[in-house]
Amino acid sequence: MARTWLRDARGQKAPPWRVAVLLVLLAAAGFALAARLTSRVPVALVPVLPVEVDEPLVAFEVFARDLPEVTDLQFVDWPEREGQPGRRRVLLVAQKAGQIDWIEVESRQRGVLLREQVRTESEMGLLGLALSPRFPADRRLFVDLVAVAGEELRQTQVRVYTVPASVEALRAGALAAPGPIVFHIDQPYSNHNGGQIAFGPDRMLYVGLGDGGAGGDPHGYGQNSGELLGKMLRLDVLDPPPGRSYGIPADNPFIVAPGYRPEIWALGLRNPWRFSFDGAGQLWVGDVGQSEVEEIDVVGRGDNLGWNVREGHRCYNADDCASDGLRPPRYVALHPDSVCLTGGFVYEGRAIAALRGRYVFCDYLLPWLRALTPESTAGDVMREDGLPGKATTIGRHDGLCSTMGRDPDGELWLGDFRGRVLRIVPVRPDGADGSSGAAADSNP
């Protein structure tokens, strides 16, 4: 990748500024990778790279600190007392090392919901959570994690926990009660585990699985229809058949297709780290790239996103490839303009009118927040350089954006590996335009 980027489109040597930016980027990547794989390099030492904000729309407020390596944010309107009217908004914060904390949004009171032993090397850990859409009648919490199961075995599991019935119980120190494992799959390597799980508007559980790791999909899982790695799965975990931990929805695309696992909703994914549904029910996936291309996909029933035939819009490791039947990405960014893309949400809140209806996303190593243009959110658009999708940088933060969250009002939040949750707010009247990178503390 570095050699490619040090030459321009004509193959000539790149200008000095490009070399300088690449050196800074490589240094940042080295620091961040070391911080993720070991504890030898504090995340606080990872540099904040310069970013130009071309459409200043947002600023950032620090809502919570001391939450190491945030991996997922989920909001719940929780009964204040069991069996009585009245709700309190609660934020659940998943952390890579195996803990989920709860924070009452209004009072900022917080505590621990569960602790679990997980494998944390490389990209493993506690990676995602999804509360039953029938809550509070159904208090099951589904958690995606990589289990501790011996030195050689790495196993992604979706485990079930029963959460306390009320905020009153949370305040009293009640913890989630562990339950069964509803899904599991062995992982050949310690990276590309996916980790996001989410209930769709159809109340089915969508499970994002990466290609198993290493680099370049050495086992070809992405295009192997008989394997679950490198896929988006769709499972019925709320009402499974008797004796089964999950059911296969009758309208899954490959339920009777020879050579296909019936759990598959879509295939050809490299590492769908974060995904979400918009108000129209569309599934948006941020698929982390290999060495040159980061991509955002709108994924439909039975889609093949192309990995590892393609990386984004390009043939991977080949001058030519068969692209018939492959779903093109909605947006791509070439390294180093984006390096480790974190998928986000279509903004459906009211606080930032210019963002409404646009897909918002971030990058783990680069401190920008971007939004697709309205046209690119609505459909396939090519930009002037011939690449899919158009986006603008709407703000700059100072974190390592590992995940985003959306509250019930449609407002967006950001979780980072610096141990914080940031609230995304409109540009302030005092001139803080989101370009300074400093996140202000907010008070309850």
How is residue 12 annotated by DSSP?
A: P
pLDDT score of 38? 37
138 and 12 inside one domain: no
10 and 92 inside one domain: no
Q: Which pLDDT tens digit goes with each residue over 360-418?
A: 999 999 999 999 999 999 999 999 999 999 999 999 999 899 999 999 999 999 999 99
pLDDT score of 439? 73
Q: How many CA atoms lie within 13 A of 228 on its CB side?
A: 18
Three-state SS letters, 157-208: EEEEEECCCCHHHHHCCCCCEEEEEEEEEECCCCCCCCCCEEECCCCCEEEE
186 and 96 inside one domain: yes
With beta carbons less than 8 A apart as the criterion, state whether 89 and 77 touch.
yes
With beta carbons less than 8 A apart as the criterion, state whether 61 and 425 touch.
yes
Task: Point out which residues pair with 70 in neighbouring strands.
Answer: 95
Nearest to 163 by CA among 144, 126, 138: 138
Is 279 within a domain?
no
User: Where does the pLDDT of residue 36 fall: very low under 50, low under 70, confident under 90, or very high at 90 and above?
Assistant: very low
Is 273 within a domain?
no
42 and 94 inside one domain: no
192 and 256 inside one domain: yes
Query: Helix or strand or coil: residue 345?
Result: strand
43 and 82 inside one domain: no
**pLDDT above 70 coverage of the chain, percent:** 86
28 and 124 inside one domain: no
b/e sequence 213-229, b meaning 16+ C-beta within 10 Å: beeebebebbbbeebbb
Is 429 within a domain?
no
- Structural domain boundaries enclosing 3: 1-47
pLDDT beyond 70 at 44: no
pLDDT beyond 50 at 31: no
Query: Cis before residue 178, ω within 30 degrees of 0?
Result: no
196 and 78 inside one domain: yes
Is 154 within a domain?
yes
pLDDT score of 30? 46
Is 41 within a domain?
yes
pLDDT score of 25? 54
What is the tally of structural domains in the chain?
2
Maximum Cα–Cα distance for the chain, whole Å?
70
Q: How many CB atoms lie within 10 A of CB 201?
A: 13
Q: What is the CATH number of the domain that holds 199?
A: 2.120.10.30
Is 413 within a domain?
no
* Spatial distance between the Cα atoms of 313 and 332, rounded to a whole number of angstroms: 7
- Residue 375 tokens read as 């046209």
Q: Indicate the residue among 267, 288, 322 that finishes a domain.
A: 267
152 and 249 inside one domain: yes
* Spatial distance between the Cα atoms of 140 and 277, rounded to a whole number of angstroms: 21
Q: Indicate the residue among 267, 297, 312 that finishes a domain.
A: 267
Q: Which pLDDT tens digit goes with each residue over 59-82?
A: 999 999 999 999 999 999 999 999
Pairing of strands 58-64, 440-441: parallel
Is 250 within a domain?
yes
139 and 5 inside one domain: no
Q: Indicate the residue among 267, 286, 306 that finishes a domain.
A: 267
* Spatial distance between the Cα atoms of 164 and 172, rounded to a whole number of angstroms: 10
31 and 111 inside one domain: no
Pairing of strands 331-334, 110-115: unpaired
Instruction: From residue 402, give the alpha-carbon distance in Å to each of 24, 174, 440.
Output: 20, 28, 19
Least confident of 305-319, 333-347, 419-433: 419-433
Is 229 within a domain?
yes
Q: Which pLDDT tens digit goes with each residue over 157-199?
A: 999 999 999 999 999 999 999 999 999 999 999 999 999 999 9
User: Where does the pLDDT of residue 241 fall: very low under 50, low under 70, confident under 90, or very high at 90 and above?
Assistant: very high
* Spatial distance between the Cα atoms of 94 and 114, rounded to a whole number of angstroms: 10
40 and 114 inside one domain: no
- Residue 177 tokens read as 């009660």
Q: Which pLDDT tens digit goes with each residue over 6-30?
A: 444 334 445 554 554 555 555 455 4
